[in-house]
Amino acid sequence: MLKYKPLHSLLPAILAASLFTSCQSTAQKEQANVTYDLLLEKASVVDGSGAAAYVANVLISGDTIALIDRDTTASYKAQNTIMARGMVVTPGFIDTHAHGDPIKEPEFKNFLAMGVTTICLGQDGFSPNQKNLSIWMDSVDAAKPGVNIAMFAGHNSLRVLSGAMYDSLPSEQNMKAMEQLVASAMDAGCYGLTTGLEYNPGYYATSNELNRLAKVVGSKNGIVMSHMRNEDDQYVEQSIKELLAQGEYCPVHVSHIKVVYGKGKERAQQVLQVLDSARQSGTKVTADFYPYTASFTGIAILFPDWAKRPHDYKQVLKSRRAELKTYLRNRIMQRNGPEATLIGSGKYTGKNLQQIAQELNKPFEEVLMDNIGPYGASGAYFIMNEELQEALMHDPHVMICTDGSPTMHHPRGYGAFAKILQTYVIDQKLLTLEEAVRKMTSLPAETIGLKNRGLLKPGYKADVLIFDPATVKENATYEQPDQLASGFRYVLMNGQIVKENERFSSDRQGKILRKQVQP
């Protein structure tokens, strides 16, 4: 026999349901009265978190994501609509290690063409030689850069500004000046400190100096990113441990992680284990990676310390010529021979050392000594093992970078992010689309400390990409490294369309993103 509850006992539930319906109706009415700036309709949303894609409508108001609605049957008022059915919508990519001058060359089309909307400058220990970086940042904003910029203070530059220069043991006065410069840079909005310990004058710094600066960075809630002291196979773990010591005071980050001369997945796992062990002990450590087996830097990396500043190179040629000649020959042969060094600036751009030597009819080591010198060019160096590097890329704590610029003679500055999608997601299926996007969006944002970027989420800034992953192409090559990537249908920055198909807006939308230091 059925039992019926008395009406008065059902009143709370009836009232609750009525209230819910009323609220829902009110919310729907309010939503119906809102006019959004842009609707991305029926997009496949890859939100940057690593979660599986889902279909939704994405609505943007001003520079902010206002709503993401999985109910694609709902209707909205919008000033403009992009039918995104069949396309992927992701956050704008974030490049944790980039180069360029946003005042002299503010467009940065090379980054926008491959979906990068934010870049990190001040890398490898080099930032503007200005004690007040806030003034420089204001100048960048006035130049209206084509991308957002997160700035770092460079340790090499701080050594110059403090007067420490090439001193292996700076005076206490100079040391305190460096500490104050770091603190001031962080207060101005820098996200941390970078070191370039393979370069001068940072090469002369001791671990004690680096630890003291890391304490300042930690007190300002920042991160230390490091082009470590030595990336060669026999020294890389020692270099990592020097960086990890700074991790006692703040998060640390391995710039463009690689193992020069190393080979195979097993060697990659050995290096990654050093980082994993540190994490298990409480150190926050991450790394970034570019998907190429050739590095790129100044030709000085080939020369011995005693032939570089502050030493007098002309005097070295007079007094130690035979010794330098032997050193350079051995160094080049260790680095896969003269064919593996491709000159990327100066009069010999686009030619390798072997070709130049044949043209000049002289040994390649003498070309380096007499025709180029330690500061006469930059170059690409084919010194990495693809299997090892790909294994590093898979680590969940490793994100993507270019280590490139608008003018560098290396395809990474124009193709790195496109290559990740084209080669490792679509062609080889070594990464899922969701994981690749996470490595290019939320992981770098979280690592750096970027607020309200790196995810597709209501309230976050509308740096947004709309594209078909299958059409994304890396067009840059070592022979023609300045070819823009293609396939990103729309690139939005701060809510504005800055690229549609292959056309770029003349109204640049980038700005300096200043870190807010907690008191």
**pLDDT reported for residue 25:** 39
Strands (E) in 29-115, as ranges, are 35-45, 54-61, 64-69, 77-83, 88-91, 93-95
The share of the chain scoring above pLDDT 70, in percent, equals: 93
Element (H, E) at 445: helix 442-448
One-letter identity of residue 81: T
Where in the sequence of the chain do the CATH 2.30.40.10 domains occur?
36-90+454-473+486-505
Stretch 59-77: mean pLDDT, rounded?
A: 96
Question: What is the rounded distance in angstroms from the CA atom of residue 346 to the CA atom of residue 359?
Answer: 16
User: What's the fold here for domain 36-90+454-473+486-505?
Assistant: Urease, subunit C; domain 1 (2.30.40)
C-alpha 228 chain-centroid distance: 16
Write the burial class of residue 414 (CB in 10 Å: 0-12 exposed, 13-18 middle, 19+ buried).
buried
* Residue carrying the six token digits 């209707």: 75
**Model confidence band, residue 507 (pLDDT cutoffs 50, 70, 90):** very high
pLDDT at residue 19 is higher than 90:
no
Where in the sequence of the chain do the CATH 3.20.20.140 domains occur?
93-293+384-450
* Residue carrying the six token digits 């070309």: 367
Q: Which two tokens stand for residue 335?
A: 């680095």
Task: Express each pLDDT in 137-158 by its tens digit.
Answer: 999 999 999 999 999 999 999 9
Task: Express each pLDDT in 163-216 by its tens digit.
Answer: 999 999 999 999 999 999 999 999 999 999 999 999 999 999 999 999 999 999
**pLDDT reported for residue 519:** 57
pLDDT at residue 31 is higher than 70:
no
Bridge-based pairing state of the strands 35-45 and 77-83: parallel
Alpha-carbon separation of residue 367 from 300, 309, 360, 363, 512 (angstroms): 14, 20, 8, 7, 42
**pLDDT reported for residue 297:** 87
Stretch 211-238: mean pLDDT, rounded?
A: 97
pLDDT at residue 17 is higher than 60:
no
pLDDT at residue 29 is higher than 50:
no
**Model confidence band, residue 7 (pLDDT cutoffs 50, 70, 90):** very low
Contacts of 245 (CB under 8 A, 6+ apart): 207, 210, 211
pLDDT at residue 20 is higher than 50:
no
Angle between helices 207-219 and 236-246 (to 10 degrees): 40
C-alpha 159 chain-centroid distance: 24
What is the phi-psi region of residue 117: left when phi exceeds 0, alpha when psi lies from -120 to 50, beta otherwise? Answer: alpha
Question: What is the rounded distance in angstroms from the CA atom of residue 289 to the CA atom of residue 57?
Answer: 33
pLDDT at residue 404 is higher than 70:
yes
Question: What is the rounded distance in angstroms from the CA atom of residue 108 to the CA atom of residue 505?
Answer: 12
Judged by DSSP in three states, 339 sits in helix
Question: What is the rounded distance in angstroms from the CA atom of residue 47 to the CA atom of residue 91?
Answer: 7
Judged by DSSP in three states, 265 sits in helix
**pLDDT reported for residue 333:** 94
One-letter identity of residue 407: T
Q: Nearest-CA neighbor of 112 among 516, 455, 467?
A: 467
User: What's the fold here for domain 93-293+384-450?
Assistant: TIM Barrel (3.20.20)
**pLDDT reported for residue 32:** 61
Stretch 1-5: mean pLDDT, rounded?
A: 39
Q: Are 283 and 224 spatial neighbours (Cβ–Cβ below 8 Å)?
A: no
Task: Express each pLDDT in 273-291 by its tens digit.
Answer: 999 999 999 999 999 999 9
Rounded to whole angstroms, the maximal C-alpha distance in the chain is 112
Q: Are 205 and 155 spatial neighbours (Cβ–Cβ below 8 Å)?
A: yes
Q: What is the DSSP string of 371-417?
A: II-TTS-EEEEE---HHHHHHHHHSTTEEE-----SS-SSTHHHHHH
Q: Any idea what the Cα angle at residue 97 is, between residues 241 and 118, rounded to 5°? A: 140
Task: Express each pLDDT in 348-377 by its tens digit.
Answer: 999 999 999 999 999 999 999 999 999 999
Q: Is the peptide bond prior to 374 cis by the omega test (within 30 degrees of 0)? A: no
Judged by DSSP in three states, 192 sits in strand
**pLDDT reported for residue 500:** 97
Q: Nearest-CA neighbor of 346 among 295, 302, 299?
A: 299
Contacts of 112 (CB under 8 A, 6+ apart): 146, 147, 491, 498, 499, 504
Average confidence score pLDDT of the chain: 93
Q: Are 97 and 288 spatial neighbours (Cβ–Cβ below 8 Å)?
A: yes
**Model confidence band, residue 516 (pLDDT cutoffs 50, 70, 90):** confident
Q: Are 502 and 431 spatial neighbours (Cβ–Cβ below 8 Å)?
A: no
Question: What is the rounded distance in angstroms from the CA atom of residue 497 to the CA atom of residue 456?
Answer: 16
Strands (E) in 72-230, as ranges, are 77-83, 88-91, 93-95, 116-121, 148-151, 153-154, 192-196, 223-227
Q: Give every strand in the sheet of 93-95, ordered side by side.
A: 93-95, 116-121, 148-151, 512-513
pLDDT at residue 9 is higher than 90:
no
One-letter identity of residue 420: I
Write the burial class of residue 400 (CB in 10 Å: 0-12 exposed, 13-18 middle, 19+ buried).
buried
